[in-house]
Amino acid sequence: MLCDNIHSALAPFLARYEQVCVVADEVLTIPDWPFPTLRMRVSEETKSIDSIEQIWDFFLSNGLTRKGLVIAIGGGVLTDMVGFASATYKRGVDYINIPTSLLAMVDASTGGKTGINHRGIKNSIGAFHAPIETLICPQWLNTLPPQQFLSGFGEMLKMGLIVNGEKLWDALLQYDLDRMDVKTLTPLINSCVRAKEEIVAADPHEEGLRKVLNFGHTFGHALEELSLTGKAGLLHGYAVVYGLIAELYLSVTKLGCPREPLQQLTQLMLHYYGKPQCKCTDRERLIALMQQDKKNERAAEINCTLIKNIGSPLINQVISTDEANESLDYLFSL
């Protein structure tokens, strides 16, 4: 739910619970509430079982029961972790997400996927546990660093390519990324959230339709995981933009999708995101990462969501190693 004022939006929920525990990213200035609050430093490295133990300990030391409420305030790393800690604490406690990064607003904080990284594998431990509400206050974005803004915008671009209802793709292309104005972005955030909610409601546990949300993510996740072994990790939304280009290329060559969205996204990427930083000398590792992707139906095959056109995604498209290499050649030649 979009909201202007976090206090009035939370009030009806607070009235229903006797106990409330708040977990918030330590970089944020948060309201002065009379609830026990745990401040956490977040990163992909600390998205780990150690942090979950810290959250469970915080709940236990404040006597949180199954009837209590947890409030998570932060980006996708924090909402994923607090969601997972809430899913597993006393077999499940209610929580509300208050996303503060663009990526968390449009993607991570809705849909009920929670989890942590384990042994270097992203989100490999997790649970489906939906928040009772997600309160989206776009004003948080006023303090978000530009790179993080662009990262979240990457997930919005994906949504624009897979849904058609409101000509979202055209509206996203027209959005002025030089200004990053929050007010004009708000209706686009709303469209993305509504689209995701509809898809998730139809297929909460990703048995079919929900896989459309994985467009750009087979290549994107592999690039992101490869970058975790290097000096500078790739932000999730940047990896998604590179993955979208690779998978749009396959959509053109395999499914006859028009070239226009590929050309539009390529221009936008070169202008705002830059070329992929990883030089991708390790092609074998990239292909192996795609073959191990947890979204695959069968071992050792590469499975992608592709599009036939804007708004017409097709799930479970099997890609050969040669095809994967060809689209990587395209991406790295830009």
Ligand X SMILES: NC(=O)c1ccc[n+]([C@@H]2O[C@H](COP(=O)([O-])OP(=O)(O)OC[C@H]3O[C@@H](n4cnc5c(N)ncnc54)[C@H](O)[C@@H]3O)[C@@H](O)[C@H]2O)c1
Q: Does 305 bind ligand X (CB under 6 A)?
A: no
Q: Does 139 bind ligand X (CB under 6 A)?
A: no
Neighbours of 221 (CB within 10 A): 23
136: DSSP letter: B
Site string for ligand X, 82-101 (x = CB under 6 A): ------------------xx
The residue among 58 and 153 lying less far from ligand X, judged by its C-beta, is: 153
Q: Does 51 bind ligand X (CB under 6 A)?
A: no
By CB under 6 A, name the one of 37, 97, 134, 151 that touches ligand X: 151
Considering only the stretches 6-14, 137-145, 184-192, 304-312, report the one whose residues sit in contact with ligand X under the rule CB under 6 A: 137-145
- AA identity, residue 202: A
Nearest approach, Cβ of residue 114 and ligand X (Å):
6
The residue among 89 and 140 lying less far from ligand X, judged by its C-beta, is: 140
Considering only the stretches 23-31, 54-62, 251-259, 318-326, report the one whose residues sit in contact with ligand X under the rule CB under 6 A: 23-31
Q: Does 192 bind ligand X (CB under 6 A)?
A: no
By CB under 6 A, name the one of 23, 113, 276, 315 that touches ligand X: 113
d(CA 152, CA 185): 12
Q: Does 158 bind ligand X (CB under 6 A)?
A: no
HSE-CB for 242 with a 13 A CA cutoff: 26
The residue among 185 and 262 lying less far from ligand X, judged by its C-beta, is: 185
Neighbours of 254 (CB within 10 A): 18
Counting beta carbons within 10 angstroms of the beta carbon of residue 264, is it exposed (0 to 12), middle (13 to 18) or buried (19 or more)?
middle
Q: Is 76 within 8 Å of 105 (Cβ atoms)? A: no
Site for ligand X, rule CB under 6 A = 25, 27-28, 42, 44, 47, 74-78, 80, 100-101, 103-104, 107-108, 111, 113, 122-123, 140, 143-144, 148, 151, 236
